Amino acid sequence: MPGIIPAGTNKCERNIAVAESQIKLYYKNVTAEVIGPEHGVTASQLKALAERTSPIIQQLNKERQAGKTAYRDLPFNTQIAQQVKELAGRLKGRCENLVVLGIGGSALGNMALQTALNPYMHNLDEAQRPGPRLFVLDNIDPAQFCSFLDWVSDKLDKTIFNVISKSGRTAETASQFMIVRQLLLDKLGPAGLQNQIVATTDREKGTLRKIATDTGLSCLEIPDGVGGRFSVLSAVGLFSAAMCGIDIDSLLKGARDMDARVSCEDFYKNPAAINAAINYHLYNRGKKISVMMPYSYALQGLADWYRQLWAESLGKAKDLTGNEVHIGPTPIKALGATDQHSQVQLYREGPNDKLFTFLQVNNFDKDIKTGPAPDCAPELGFLAGGDLSTLLNNEKKATEYALLKDQRPCLTVVFDKVNAYTIGQFIYLYEVTTSFAGALFGINTYDQPAVELGKEATFALMGRSGYEKLAQQIRPSAEVDADFLV
């Protein structure tokens, strides 16, 4: 594999481009010093966590060197970035609309990158758009899909459909693909089908790979061993990003630089180890819910992406030795300041069962000052002439203060700026934090048996051959009992 860090590199000492901004994890506000010993982490507990987690740092570094965590090699894989850039370069000139067909790990990363790194009005305002419009269709709601097809049907020759499925057998993505395939065949013929679809899937296995080979589609590969929710830094997320003008080299560089920090064997210098250890400790002390609350519109897609990463990786019935544990923090997304007016009442006065992680941006890309107060409303003078960024960041501080008053533990991930480099850092930080948390919980971080059963049950309900027995088992719960319908 190209560009992998050689075994034995002392990653704590590898040079990071310090001139560029590093995201930081701030954890003082989970400590007992701030919120008291009942809900906070005491100094001796932190020391015990360091002792418990330090061997896991070594274990994860070894697993990584042994090629067991393939997602960690993605930022170093120059080949993928090259292939993505070449294909994007070939297609960009004739693409006004890029449509991603995928779900879960094959969609959330694309949305997160786009929301973080392109302007809010990207799709509507050509002047703000460095590439095609981007639509990520991660659902099969027929009304939504029909509305989209009505809009796109006369633009098919200027639209690229990127169908993404690692397994190639996901019913939602397959059905979307079959609709689009027929539309393209009807309107543009077989050549149109070949020209307008890019398939991102496993190197050799699966139905989508078979279709792509048979039809002669342009293809991008998802490397072996990279699961959907850990795939955003593969072609899964990089292609739509590159097409839409995102600097994927900086994104990958951010991830590489974070790799040095999260491989560091000194617990106190390793943000992923500390983050996971605090999450693990507080979960075991009753904080079963983990709220990620960005104070930035741009970062809210990352909170959605994190929800999947955390939930699918850590929500498990059994531990590694087969004991039933039914474990896993429940990840929730909130948005500051919006959800101050929706959720914070519960967060402060409801059960003290949550750990909050704020995402804070110190320097926004753009800023705007509030106008003067109307003469009839001098009481608004305190807002007059102030930057919106100052108001937003003060609202974060104010909410955090209010939560701390009620002994609610708060972490903050601080972004100096939001750019491809810091977003790459954040993605990699949370992927590796998830690996640490999985190891601390003693579960398999990388499987998702419960999701698989739902996929198979869908096959059964849709009459797929080979699933007849499962269809029988599902019938009692799938049929509506009118006695219970009110």
The CB-of-173 to ligand PA5 minimum distance in angstroms stands at: 5
* Euclidean distance between CA atoms 361 and 76, whole angstroms: 27
∠ at Cα 47 (442, 37), nearest 5°? 95
Gap between the terminal Cα atoms of the chain = 60
Which helix (H) or strand (E) is 49 found in, with range? Answer: helix 43-65
Contact 209, 57 (CB under 8 A): no
Residue tagged active-site, from 312, 396, 400, 431: 312
Task: Convert 274-340 into a string of H (helix), E (strand) and C (coil).
Answer: HHHHHHHHHHHCCCCEEEEEECCHHHHHHHHHHHHHHHHHHCEEECCCCCEEEECCEEEECCCCHHH
Residue at shortest CB range from ligand PA5: 228
Taking CA atoms, 63 is separated from 7, 70, 396, 451, 455, in Å, by: 11, 10, 38, 25, 30
The CB-of-58 to ligand PA5 minimum distance in angstroms stands at: 27
Which helix (H) or strand (E) is 270 found in, with range? Answer: none
Residue (134 or 311) nearer to ligand PA5, CB: 311
The CB-of-198 to ligand PA5 minimum distance in angstroms stands at: 15
The CB-of-445 to ligand PA5 minimum distance in angstroms stands at: 11
| Partner residues linked to 202 by β-bridges | 222
Residue tagged active-site, from 341, 349, 379, 469: 341
Distance of CA 402 to the CA centre of its chain: 28
* Euclidean distance between CA atoms 258 and 160, whole angstroms: 33
Contact 320, 442 (CB under 8 A): yes
Please compute Rg for the chain using Cα positions.
24
Residue 341 known to be catalytic? yes
Contact 264, 423 (CB under 8 A): no
Residue 357 has phi, psi (to 5 degrees) of -125, 110
The CB-of-4 to ligand PA5 minimum distance in angstroms stands at: 23
Residue (102 or 336) nearer to ligand PA5, CB: 102
Residue tagged active-site, from 96, 205, 455, 456: 455
The contact set with ligand PA5 (CB under 6 A) reads 103-106, 165-167, 170, 173, 227-229, 312, 448, 451
* Euclidean distance between CA atoms 337 and 390, whole angstroms: 12
The CB-of-50 to ligand PA5 minimum distance in angstroms stands at: 31
The CB-of-230 to ligand PA5 minimum distance in angstroms stands at: 7
How does 25-51 read in b/e, with b if 16+ C-beta sit within 10 Å?
A: bebebbbbeebeeebbbeeebbeebbe
Distance of CA 104 to the CA centre of its chain: 9
Residue (270 or 448) nearer to ligand PA5, CB: 448
Residue 366 known to be catalytic? no
* Euclidean distance between CA atoms 361 and 206, whole angstroms: 41
Residue 431 known to be catalytic? no
Which residue numbers are catalytic? 312, 341, 455
